[in-house]
Amino acid sequence: MFVIKEIKIANFKSVQELSLPLSRFNVLIGSNGSGKSNILEAIAFGAAASGDKLDNEFLGSRGIRTSDSRLMKSAFSSELLSKPVKLEFGVEEETLSFTIEEEEKPILKWSVQEKKILEESIKSALISVYSEGFDDIKAKEFGFTEEVLQRQRTHSLQLQHLLRNGDNESLNKWVRAALGDLRFDELYKQGYYNELLANFIIYSPEISSLRKFEEESQIKPLGIKGEGLFNLLQIFNESYGAETINELKKYLNVIEWFDDFEAVSDRTTGRKNLVIKDRYIPDISLNQNNVNEGFLFLLFYISLIVSKETPSFFAIDNIEASFHPKLCKDLTENLIQLCNHHNKQLILTTHNPFVLDGLDLNDSNQSLFVVRRNSEGETIVDKIDKQPKNIKLSEAWMRGYIGGQPETID
């Protein structure tokens, strides 16, 4: 599987300019407000640009905290507020670049400069070609149907009339009609759509959503807060088979009391239940409402990676919720194994030092980044290249050897 190798961000929230070289499994650490979530949101912003879906509803469903443009862009100076957001993604030998600007009339709307440039280029070409008469032979090379060809001939005659007698607004309407036949959105996606990037999501599961199996999200199969978990487990049962279910159970065994689980749906009542067996109390079953939080979070994370329907490139913000320190280490090791096995690329943020103890920085597929704010308030990222000798990464973090500690202000 291809992976996103490098991300460059400019003028987004607390990030004025930074470059982030990625591996398959990436961990961001740093103090509160250092900019970890802003980096994830910048990636999601670029993903939306790649998919040509920059409306606020879509951005929110992908985990971006939307607000007015002054809070979405670097506000360190009035000059920066007037500049666009710039994002660049290196995917194997390809580089995708997006320059994103805001339009606030009548409401805030984001647009991609590259799309406007492409549209202007095609507009000029259309006017140049169609003003001389429509060429049926060349058009047939594009595979147009006879119905579309007839509209193109009409477009050509209309343009020649507009160039002689029309106004600018009429000419713009003509261009929009001609672009519709040329499937302009498809032309844009041919140059800027990348499936790996465009499907990027920031997951921040909440226990309330994990316990309510009736909730669903517009993002399928799993919403950013954990919605849809039961339905995904049903997909595993019905379409994936025993191998996937056994893999889930294998990784759930890091919880010492776990014995077995089953997703049960009552077709008569419509009730959905997760039946969980505790090896120490075999005669009593737990369900999603009374099992401990850590189990549901763990089940969510494993399902997220195992599923073929979830993104191949995604992020988990604040992964340590409800986990014992020892479990945090095991969780990291297991997620690394799962990402390698299921060809997933993951970025996670954490405030728990024990998450780091599952990392092996001698492995090129694993990366650790320390996120901080410099003296000007800009978000800066430092990559930790070497595994410390004779000390755990958790201790190195807590003792301040690798940074990522809150700054004390006198």
153-170 per-position pLDDT tens digit? 776 777 777 777 766 677
For residue 362, is pLDDT > 70? yes
Summary mean pLDDT of the chain: 86
CATH 3.40.50.300 fits 1-112+196-201+312-410, yes or no: yes
Quote the pLDDT of residue 39: 96
C-alpha span between 248 and 258 (Å, rounded) = 12
Residue spans of the domains in the chain: they are 1-112+196-201+312-410, 115-192, 210-310
If you average pLDDT over residues 346-350, what whole number do you get? 96
309 C-beta neighbours (distance < 10 Å), count: 11
Task: Give the pLDDT band of residue 405 (cuts 50, 70, 90).
Answer: confident
Quote the pLDDT of residue 144: 63
Helix (H, G, I), strand (E, B) or coil at 147: helix
If you average pLDDT over residues 178-184, what whole number do you get? 67
For residue 332, is pLDDT > 60? yes
Quote the pLDDT of residue 107: 66
Q: What is the pLDDT of residues 18-63, one digit of tens each?
A: 999 999 999 999 999 999 999 999 999 999 999 988 888 888 888 8
Quote the pLDDT of residue 410: 44
Instruction: Give the closest residue to 203 by CA, choosing from 309, 343, 297.
Output: 297
Task: Please say whether the beta carbons of 203 and 222 come within 8 A.
Answer: yes
C-alpha span between 10 and 85 (Å, rounded) = 6
For residue 408, is pLDDT > 60? no
Lowest mean per-residue pLDDT among 47-51, 128-132, 384-388:
128-132
* Range 154-159, long-range pairs (CB < 8 A, 24+ positions): 155/130, 155/181, 156/130, 156/131, 159/126, 159/127, 159/130, 159/131
Angle at CA of residue 186, ends 182 and 191, nearest 5°: 115
Task: Give the pLDDT band of residue 131 (cuts 50, 70, 90).
Answer: low
Task: Give the pLDDT band of residue 140 (cuts 50, 70, 90).
Answer: low
Which DSSP category does 33 fall into?
T
Task: Please say whether the beta carbons of 398 and 370 come within 8 A.
Answer: no
For residue 141, is pLDDT > 60? no
Most confident of 183-187, 217-221, 379-383: 379-383
C-alpha span between 97 and 89 (Å, rounded) = 6
Quote the pLDDT of residue 63: 85
Quote the pLDDT of residue 198: 93
Task: Give the pLDDT band of residue 102 (cuts 50, 70, 90).
Answer: confident
For residue 401, is pLDDT > 80? yes
C-alpha span between 188 and 111 (Å, rounded) = 13
196 C-beta neighbours (distance < 10 Å), count: 19
Which DSSP category does 275 fall into?
E
If you average pLDDT over residues 206-220, what whole number do you get? 83
C-alpha span between 170 and 162 (Å, rounded) = 7
Task: Give the pLDDT band of residue 119 (cuts 50, 70, 90).
Answer: confident
* Run of H or E residues at 37: helix 36-50
Task: Give the pLDDT band of residue 220 (cuts 50, 70, 90).
Answer: confident
Quote the pLDDT of residue 359: 96
Quote the pLDDT of residue 38: 94
For residue 404, is pLDDT > 80? yes
If you average pLDDT over residues 164-179, what whole number do you get? 71
Task: Please say whether the beta carbons of 146 and 107 come within 8 A.
Answer: no
- Helix/strand/coil (H/E/C) assignment for every residue in the chain: CCCEEEEEEEEECCEEEEEEECCCEEEEECCCCCCHHHHHHHHHHHHHHHCCCCCHHHHHHCCCCCCCHHHHCCCCCHHHHCCCEEEEEEECCEEEEEEEEEECCCCCEEEEHHHHHHHHHHHHHHHHHHCCCCCHHHHHCCCCCHHHHHHHHHHHHHHHHHHHHCCHHHHHHHHHHHHHHCCHHHHHHHHHCCHHHHCCCEECCCHHHHHCCCCCCCCCCCCCCCCCHHHHHHHHHHHHCHHHHHHHHHHHCCCCCEEEEEEEECCCCCCEEEEEEECCCCCCEECCCCCCHHHHHHHHHHHHHHCCCCCCEEEECCCCCCCCHHHHHHHHHHHHHHHHHCCCEEEEECCCHHHHHHCCCCCCCEEEEEEEECCCCCEEEEEECCCCCCCCHHHHHHCCCCCCCCCCCC
For residue 132, is pLDDT > 70? no
Instruction: Give the closest residue to 311 by CA, choosing from 227, 195, 205, 225.
Output: 195
Task: Please say whether the beta carbons of 32 and 374 come within 8 A.
Answer: no
Task: Give the pLDDT band of residue 298 (cuts 50, 70, 90).
Answer: very high
Lowest mean per-residue pLDDT among 60-74, 316-330, 354-368:
60-74
Q: What is the pLDDT of residues 246-286, one digit of tens each?
A: 999 999 999 999 999 998 887 666 688 899 999 999 889 99
Quote the pLDDT of residue 123: 73
